[in-house]
Amino acid sequence: MPWSNENYPRSMKNLSPETRKKAIEIANALYEDEHYDEGRSIAIATDRANAWAKNRGKPVKKDSKKAK
């Protein structure tokens, strides 16, 4: 199942928009190109996107103060 910014796994809902976008990109590549199952694609993508964001000094999670 390809994911998008409008249709993404629930486990990605608290990621910052930029980190979520990267996680979706990675998950889609793992699922479609590497033939990982959905659950594994999501878990690996979330982990890699978190590392990607941290390495660039970008927020990993949504700002909970703004969300309220």
In the DSSP assignment, the letter for residue 59 is -
Q: Which amino acid is at 13?
A: K
Q: CA 53, CA 15: separation in Å to the nearest integer?
A: 10
Check residue 12 and give its pLDDT: 97
Q: Please work out, in degrees rounded to the nearest 5, the angle formed at the alpha carbon of residue 21 by the alpha carbons of 3 and 61.
A: 115
- Which of 7, 6, 10 is CA-nearest to residue 39? 10
Please report the pLDDT score of residue 65 as a whole number.
55
Mean pLDDT, 10 residues at a time, the chain of 68 residues: 93 97 98 96 98 97 63
**Residue ranges covered by each domain of the chain:** 19-57
Query: What is the pLDDT at residue 68?
Result: 38
pLDDT at 63: 81
